[in-house]
Structure 1
Amino acid sequence: MKVKLTIKLLISMIIVYYITMTVYVVLNLVIYNSNITFGEKVFSVSFNISKFMEPYIEDLEKGNDFSLDDNNINKLTQNNIWIQVLDKENKEVYEVNKPENIPNSYLTAELIEFIQDPWGSSAPTTISTNNIAKGNENYTLLIGFPIDKIFRFKMTLTDESFKYHISIIIFSLILMTIVAYIFSRNLVKPMVSVVEDIDDLKNGIYINKKNKQGIFKEVSKNINNLSLILKENELQRKEADKAKEEWIANISHDLKTPLSSIKGYAELLKGDQYEINIEEAKRYGTAILDNSNYIQELVNDLSLVYKLKNKVLPIKFKEENLINLLQESIIDLLNNSKYSNKEINFNYYDDNIILDCDKKYLKRAINNFIINSLEHNSKDTIVIVSVLKKENNINIIIEDNGYGIKEEDFKNIFTRYYRGVNTSSAYNGSGLGMAIAKEVIDCHDGVINIESEVGLGTKIIIVLKN
């Protein structure tokens, strides 16, 4: 991969170079054959001395005397250009806008030097020459341009110097290719590393590597951060899958017991081989009803979890008296034969605390918290429910003096399908109670804080907006 990327990048750079040079040449050809300017009226990008001189030569060759029309003279004056016409003895016969330091006559050697070496004269000027035919006489036309606007240089090439320059060009191209290769390699190396890191992520390999330096520094840093996040998510997913599998196994086991009981009692009631009196029939019926209720509760929990997970729970907010709601919840639990011998205390200082909530589901959440304290502690555990009204919040506190929560259980207390191990009875919960309670509190924009210490008990603080 590294070699392929290097070659591709190298070829791309060479192609870009030649395309750039081609575009440059084409643009120059277009510009020099067009009348494109960048603010200059005379000395434009497409300025051509030969074309510039044509109208002046035509003017000067007309008639018997040398003269220019006013437009051409103004053009010379405005652009600091001058004209001088010399006869065959190199003496001036006509001039326009000629500076004072330009001589009126020249020796042939002086004239040649003046034309070829504009910087060497007393009046640095770029000179262009042309012949003028007037009558039977030939004249020399000198046009002087400002040297800051037009300048020329000459280069003489011998066969050896031509070979030398060609070799320099070839060497430059080779050097450029080598530099491009080195640059491509240095650019591709970290790029390949980044691509490999992305491939690792695609293949589920999450390794925190050393951050790259250079132009890919931020990319490398973000990939490492993403790798850590994906690794953590993968671990959480595996833990959730494991908990889910264990939960399915537990639920399957839990369902077998009540179903077996229901089936057994039903067969007894149906069969003719046993004589069953009214009392026994009632007892069997009660057992069937209890087991059926257990299965129904389990199904309801599963349905509620699905709705909570998919955000389709029909929460209906209404102003409710929180004290009455909590009293009903506690009374319902104590009226349950399973918890009739438990001690649940309720403390409050204001019997008219109004809360905007869904009574049904908030009551369900509170019940789940209280049941969790009752089921996972000893029989003599005391549960205290308190309500504190603050300026902006209402705190519902559920605390017990039980075993406390172990670190492993504490970490997974709101995890779906997780079951704690500190059960005080043959309690077969669904493993969804605490998760459901948290989801319900979340739907009420509430916050749950838990404090627990092994051997001392647990305190759950539910903070709801007032």
Structure 2
Amino acid sequence: MQNKTAKIIVRFTITIILISFIILLINYFSIVFFLQSQFSSDDPSRSVERIANELEEKNYTLSYKNQSYLHNNSLWVQAIDKDGNEFFSMYKPSEIPIKYSLGDIANISKNYLKDYPVYLWKNNENIIILGYPKNSIVKYNWSTSIKTISNIPFFLLILLLFNIVATILLATVLGRRLMIPLKHIIDGVFSLKNEKEIHLQEKGLYKDLSQSVNETSLKLVEKNIAIKKRENAIANWIAGISHDIRTPLSMILGYSGVLEEDMTLLDETRLQAKIITENALSLKELVSDLNLATSLQYNMQPLTLRTVRLSNIARKAMANCINGGILHNCTNEIIVEDENVTALIDDTLLVRAVTNLITNSAKHNKKGCHITIIIPQLPCDLDYSSIIIKDTGCGIPKDKIKELNEKNSFQVSINKTHGLGFIIVKNIIEAHHGKVIIESKEEQGTVVLLKLLK
């Protein structure tokens, strides 16, 4: 859980850093583009140079292109000689003088002329003045040392590193402020699978989310309490019914046994008594199966676990079926590839499970079949040992296979075909934290694999 939360915080921090870095790059290129666009062809220094050169080359006349440029941008131009007298002008405002002293020239080269921003260019002994509209350009005179200029790249690098460090620190602080409460919520969500009651603080940015998790937790707890009560009620009801049935069953078996052995009765009457005895015994077995299935389903059956050889389980189960007359119409075989294959099991319950599977094969194949129990030499995987019970009978339809392989054993339909036998098998194996896998094809037999923890 800690690793997952740390990963979220790291990813969040990296995301903020990347976003900040991208924003810095965008800002840098935007500034460069802006400066290039503003100080390219419209740079006043370049403009006055271009116009001055053309005036000199064309004997102080301007091309139509430059005249249009001056007119469209409300610019004016003036040429003065070495004595400070004007000898050429175009679009010049009326307030601009036509004669300048040396002091005037020195002053306007750094400042304004009648509040007009002006730029000067010297052609031989003449001076060209390019004037801009008032309030269109801001001019500032400043000076600095070469050392300062040379230190600008280093300063910018330090500034960039400072921005990166500050971004990382801010991202970390912000990430912690956002992720610490979120960590509690994540822990709470993961705790929901364990069905624990959760109490998150319902405040801050994640107030609604914390409230939802708390409500979900409360509903789960209430639901589990209701399910537990229902399961206890079902188990107690089944146990009570089973207990109430045992007494009349014992009386029925007692009287039917007496009638069956009474030689003074007619043969037909004794046969009827025998049928009563057989059905009563079936009913008694069904009640016992129901009790066992319920106990396993609701974890009421204590397991006595010990390491047991699976070959012994196979032989005991097969012997029970042979002695009980179950296999009178079937042939059987036990194949033990390795006598040393063991599992941690309750041997009484596992014998019951294997016996049930053999009984199912015999009951569902009235015409007979060959039943084989195999203890494989090699386990199916590293954690499990296995027992395989297979027959050569009529098989099971695909839809029934899907039902039998359902995770919840009580979802298997109880009908004349399958009854409680396979449910008990699944409950026994699941109580051992094992797996039951059944495969079958119609008219080709059935294979059941029991996987048990070593």
The TM-score with structure 2 as length reference comes to: 0.46
The TM-score with structure 1 as length reference comes to: 0.45
